[in-house]
């Protein structure tokens, strides 16, 4: 029976991770478990930065951005000797199960632990919304609101100067932040991996918008697709539309989590503890059709991601 549970956050931080840490600790204590936190993700696991916590540790954190137990990226975790050190620490601290909050990279780290005999549970936390086993990840809603807030502000200045703005948003290789923000912000054009747009079409549309004397044009582009600064110069040269590039960057990851993220984190985290309380391991939790669900971690990692075809069609209708 699981007695001691450790919680860590890993990969890019996401608003709502603190809410997830909070619920894991509180729900674990509710079931009489001893609760531990690991600082700095898998790096802290390897180094033994593992500490027992009480309910007080979780006071006043639900509204805080980032992760109070910090995070890291540790590609070396794949190396057998690094993994073996983490497993040794888990045994030394007599930890019965590890909960990892993060994205796909975190799930891969958890899977390596599971294969080494450690009991694990994954909770999806990333602004990218690129985890196939859940409709929504913790942090996506807040990042989307942040993007909308930024685009509203860019529109103000863009309209005053009659400019075109090329805005790069995060998402790694997933277009969800670009797609959802484009709909919410009535963007003139959207470019993502799953919604490519030829230069020719883009230039034609922007020339038309300029000829209609519209006050601005907003083009939202997913990161890792093109160099937006170079692309802005090209658009200006091809269309005559004065064009500025804006890379929103890591500010998309910061800020107080939205109510939706706090609630999602609380629902997912409590389910993670429910599973451990029933001695169910090596699962990842998620939300599907507003129901909290869980899947085998290996199966979850093999699932194809939903590319939101109806939303891509909606974008075409709107633009």
Q: Which of 104, 128, 130, 261 is catalytic?
A: 128
Residue 311 Cβ vs ligand F6P, minimum distance, rounded to whole Å: 19
Backbone φ/ψ region at 224: left (φ over 0), alpha (ψ -120 to 50), beta: left
Q: With beta carbons less than 8 A apart as the criterion, state whether 105 and 73 touch.
A: yes
The 224-263 site mask, x for binding ligand F6P (CB under 6 A), equals --------------------------x--x----------
Which 15-34 positions form the footprint of ligand F6P (CB under 6 A)? none
Q: Specify the residue, 202 or 284, whose C-beta has the smaller distance to ligand F6P.
A: 284
DSSP secondary structure string for all residues of the chain = ---EEEEEE-SS--TTHHHHHHHHHHHHHHTT-EEEEETTHHHHHHHT-EEEE-GGGGTT-TT--S-TT-----GGGGSHHHHHHHHHHHHHTT--EEEEEESHHHHHHHHHHHHTT-EEEEEEB-TT---TT-S--BTHHHHHHHHHHHHHHHHHHHHHHT-EEEEEE--TT--HHHHHHHHHHT-SEEE-SSS---HHHHHHHHHHHHHTT-S-EEEEEETTS--HHHHHHHHHHHH---EEEEE-GGGGG-SPPPHHHHHHHHHHHHHHHHHHHTT--SEEEEEETTEEEEEEHHHHHHSPPP--HHHHHHHHHH-
Q: Which is nearer to ligand F6P, 253 or 262 (CB)?
A: 253
Binding-site member from 18, 112, 119, 126 for ligand F6P (CB under 6 A): 126
Q: Determine whether 199 is an active site residue.
A: no
- By C-beta, is 45 or 177 nearer to ligand F6P? 177
Count, residues near ligand F6P per rule CB under 6 A: 13
Return the residues of window 91-110 that contact ligand F6P according to CB under 6 A: 103
Least distance (Å) between residue 224 CB and ligand F6P: 7
Candidate ranges 33-41, 124-132, 182-190, 206-214; the one touching ligand F6P (CB under 6 A): 124-132
Q: How far is the CB of 128 from ligand F6P (least distance, A)?
A: 5
- Residue nearest ligand F6P by beta-carbon distance: 12
Residue 128 or 294 with smaller CB distance to ligand F6P? 128
Cβ 77 to ligand F6P, closest distance in Å?
15
Between CA 96 and CA 119 the distance in angstroms is 7
Residue from 40, 128, 135, 168 in contact with ligand F6P (CB under 6 A): 128
Site for ligand F6P in 68-87 (CB under 6 A): 73
Q: Going by C-beta distance under 8 Å and a sequence separation of 6 or more, which residues neighbour residue 238?
A: 199, 203
CB 73 to ligand F6P: min, Å: 6
Binding string, 135-174, against ligand F6P, x = CB under 6 A? -----------------------------------xxx--
- The residues that are catalytic are 128
Binding site for ligand F6P (CB under 6 A): 11-12, 73, 103, 126-128, 170-172, 223, 250, 253
């Amino acid at each position: 029976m699981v007695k001691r549970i450790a919680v860590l956050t890993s990969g890019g931080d996401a608003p709502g991770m603190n809410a997830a840490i909070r619920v894991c600790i509180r729900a674990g204590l509710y079931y009489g478990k001893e609760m531990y936190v690991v600082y700095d993700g898998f790096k802290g696991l390897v180094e033994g930065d593992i500490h027992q916590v009480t309910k007080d540790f979780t006071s006043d954190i639900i509204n805080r951005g980032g992760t109070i137990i910090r995070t890291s990226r540790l590609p070396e975790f794949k190396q057998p000797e690094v993994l073996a050190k983490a497993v040794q620490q888990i045994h030394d601290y007599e930890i019965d199960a590890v909960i990892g909050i993060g994205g796909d990279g975190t799930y891969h780290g958890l899977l390596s632990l599971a294969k080494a005999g450690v009991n694990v549970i994954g909770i999806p936390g990333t602004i990218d919304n690129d985890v196939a086993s859940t409709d929504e990840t913790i942090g996506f809603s807040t990042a989307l609101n942040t993007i909308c807030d930024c685009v509203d502000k860019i529109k103000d200045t863009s309209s005053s100067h009659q400019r075109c703005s090329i805005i790069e948003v995060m998402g790694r290789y997933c277009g969800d932040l670009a797609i959802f923000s484009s709909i919410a912000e009535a963007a003139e054009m959207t470019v993502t991996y799953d919604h490519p747009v030829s230069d020719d079409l883009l230039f034609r549309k922007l020339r038309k918008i300029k000829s209609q004397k519209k006050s601005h044009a907003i083009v939202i582009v997913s990161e890792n697709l093109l160099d937006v600064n170079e692309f802005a110069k090209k658009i200006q040269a091809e269309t005559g539309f004065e064009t500025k590039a804006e890379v929103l960057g890591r500010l998309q990851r910061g800020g107080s989590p939205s109510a939706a993220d706090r609630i999602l984190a609380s629902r997912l985290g409590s389910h993670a503890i429910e599973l451990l309380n029933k001695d169910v391991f090596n699962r990842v939790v998620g939300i599907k059709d507003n129901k909290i669900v869980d899947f085998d971690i290996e199966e979850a990692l093999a699932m194809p991601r939903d590319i939101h075809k109806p939303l891509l069609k909606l974008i075409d209708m709107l633009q």
